[in-house]
C-alpha cells in the first residue's frame, strides 16, 4: 500500500511591499505549527521514501523542519506543486514517477500550498473530498497497489 501524506506549509510571514510570494518565509507561528505536526507524524513514521516540495521558501522551510525529525530517502523540489499547480497533472505525473523510479515506495510526503493540497486530496481520494487545509495540516491518503485513488485515513493538524 502507498501512503501519500499531503501537507500544507506552516503559517507564513505577510508579504512585504513588492515581495514575490515565493520568497515569503515561515512566521514564528508557522515554525510552531510545523513542530507540533512533525511531533505527531514522528510517532508513526521513521522515514519517508520520497519527500516532494514546492520551491517556494515557506514550503522549503517546512520540508527542512520535517526532514530534521523524519528523514527521507530522496528529496525532490517540484515547480509543479506551487499554489497554481494542476492537481491532475501533478498527481498523474507523481504516480508515473513512482512506478518508474520508486516502485517500492510506501510513504510519500508532498509539501505544497492551498489550493493545490485540497485538489490533490480530491484527486487521490475515492470519495473525491476537497478539504480545506489549516496551515501545517497533513492529510494521509492510503492507496492500494496498482490503484490511482484511495481512502483518506488520517488528518493531522497543529493543536
pLDDT digits (tens, 9 = 90+) for 97-118: 999 999 999 999 999 999 999 9
- Arithmetic mean of pLDDT over the chain: 96
Q: Give exposure, 23-32, as e/b (b: 16+ Cβ within 10 Å).
A: ebebbeebbb
pLDDT at 75: 98
Question: What does R_g of the chain's alpha carbons equal in angstroms?
Answer: 15
Does domain 2-8+26-151 match CATH 3.40.50.300? no
pLDDT band at 19 (very low <50, low <70, confident <90, very high): confident
pTM over 0.95: yes
Amino acid at each position: 500500500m502507498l501512503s501519500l501524506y499531503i501537507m500544507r506549509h506552516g503559517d507564513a510571514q505577510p508579504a512585504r511591499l513588492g515581495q514575490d510570494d515565493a520568497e515569503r518565509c515561515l512566521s514564528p507561528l508557522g515554525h510552531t505549527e510545523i513542530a507540533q505536526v512533525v511531533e505527531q507524524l514522528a510517532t508513526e513514521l521513521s522515514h519517508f521514501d520520497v519527500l516532494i516540495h514546492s520551491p517556494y521558501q515557506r514550503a522549503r522551510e517546512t520540508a527542512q523542519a520535517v526532514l530534521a525529525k523524519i528523514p527521507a530517502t530522496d528529496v525532490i523540489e517540484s515547480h509543479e506543486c506551487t499554489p497554481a499547480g494542476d492537481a491532475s497533472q501533478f498527481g498523474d505525473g507523481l504516480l508515473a514517477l513512482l512506478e518508474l523510479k520508486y516502485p517500492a515506495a510506501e510513504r510519500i510526503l508532498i509539501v505544497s500550498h492551498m489550493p493545490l493540497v485540497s485538489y490533490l486530496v480530491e484527486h487521490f481520494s475515492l470519495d473525491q473530498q476537497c478539504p480545506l487545509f489549516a496551515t501545517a495540516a497533513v492529510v494521509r491518503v492510503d492507496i492500494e497497489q496498482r490503484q490511482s485513488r484511495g481512502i483518506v485515513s488520517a488528518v493531522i493538524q497543529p493543536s
